[in-house]
Amino acid sequence: MRQEFRKALVTGASSGIGEAFARLLAARGADLVLVARRDDLLRRLAEELSTRHRVGVEVLPADLTDPGDLERVAGRLTDEPVDLLINNAGSAAFGPFAEVPPAERLAEIDLNVTALTRLTHAALPDMLRRGRGGVLNVASMAAFTPSPGNAVYGATKAYVAALSESLHAEVIGRGVHVTALCPGFTRTDESAGPDLIWLRRQDVARAGLEAVAAGRALCVPGVQYKVALPALRTAPRTLLRTAVDRTWRRAARTRTGD
């Protein structure tokens, strides 16, 4: 059954795909709870959306890697339930695994895995009691391939995709939709159009919203990435590792000028 969402909480809402989610939902008449670290950006966006679309917009500044802030947002979901939770906030610490400080790697896990899991757990029980609602978790195409130079990010996004598909199977038939959104390379600059590699953020957000409304377990935006996914899932892992290793080494040589 296709769902319409009247109120949504969006994490990482101050820019990028998160901002695109907020704009699309507001244009559809949904009230919003916007979560991100930057209070000033959130308030500016909230004022614009509430004025333009006459929807309610609540600003909830929070650093989801901070346990206290995370519990505050989780409490908001349990005390005042929403129809749609979009776990969009995420981070990546690029570079060889051994050369990036461990605190940065652990912060990736805190945001991409721990916060997403906690907020999903906070939102689902009430959705299941009401027999309606949706959770859209932003993963990545990196979930399906080795990611040298971005190993922890790829591993966290594999977790997000696996968790989302498993939860989708748990709640199917109970009126609640859980969807993993797996975009490839996505532009944050809206002045540029899509091409053979890069997607536009509003196209990614729109595809994700359509997928969770329709109750699909997995959404891969862009024809180029839809075509690539079956190959990534069926190709021998040794072949995939060889291909990405060559790409990583070439990129590393470019960075160092060798």
CB 35 within 8 A of CB 12: yes
CB 107 within 8 A of CB 90: no
Alpha helices, DSSP H, located in the chain? 16-27, 39-53, 67-79, 102-109, 116-130, 151-171, 201-214, 223-234, 237-256
DSSP state of 99: G
- What's the first-to-final CA gap in the chain, in angstroms? 56
Confirm whether 159 is a catalytic residue.
no
The single residue of 5, 21, 153, 159 carrying the catalytic annotation is 153
How distant, in Å, are the alpha carbons of 95, 196, 249 from that of 152? 10, 26, 18
How distant, in Å, are the alpha carbons of 36, 158, 224 from that of 238? 39, 18, 23
Report the distance separating Cα 240 and Cα 258, nearest Å: 25
Q: Residue for token digits 């969009």? A: 88
DSSP string, 120-178: HHHHHHHHHHHT-EEEEEE--GGGGS--TTSHHHHHHHHHHHHHHHHHHHHHTTTTEEE
DSSP state of 80: S
Report the distance separating Cα 12 and Cα 31, nearest Å: 16
Active site residues: 153
